Amino acid sequence: MTKFFFYGSLREGGKNNYRILGSDKFGTGKKLGTAKINGFDLYISNDTDWPIPTACPGKSTLVGEVWELDEQLESFMYRFESGYLHQTVITGFGPCVIFYNNIPEDCYYLRKGYYHAKNGDFVASIAQNSI
């Protein structure tokens, strides 16, 4: 079973967590816990109906959850996140796969109404209504 680091809508409480990780339709997964990694900046869209998070290489700390996925869900996840790059990052739970964008700080996202969530935490940013 492969471990994944989810920082956005796949975290508990996120819309995609319920649809994908909360259902056996695509396979099974288990949350191992919360983790932080360095070297990524978090950007969030200003869309209040469905805020979209994206991580880019940077200088901040990113907050997320580590999930262990079976082969079926792992395969689905690579298809679901196919528009993103992926790499292995090290967490307190061991190596994990993260999906991210490779876009510089003066990126497309800032020009398209995204803001830099300096706390690195998608769930906390949404809860604080900081959009």
Question: What whole-number distance in Å separates Cα of residue 54 and Cα of residue 116?
Answer: 10
Question: What whole-number distance in Å separates Cα of residue 72 and Cα of residue 119?
Answer: 33
pLDDT value of residue 14: 83
Neighbours of 12 (CB within 10 A): 14
32: alpha, beta or left? (left if phi > 0; alpha if psi -120 to 50): alpha
In whole angstroms, how large is the CA radius of gyration of the chain? 14
Neighbours of 76 (CB within 10 A): 16
Q: What pLDDT tens digit does each residue of the chain (131 aa) get?
A: 899 999 999 999 888 998 898 888 999 999 999 999 999 999 888 776 778 888 988 899 999 999 999 999 999 999 999 989 999 999 999 999 999 987 655 556 566 677 888 899 998 888 775 44
pLDDT tens track for 100-120:
987 655 556 566 677 888 899
pTM: 0.89
HEC secondary structure over 22-59: CCCCCCCEEEEEEEEEEEEEEEEECCCCCCCEEEEEEE
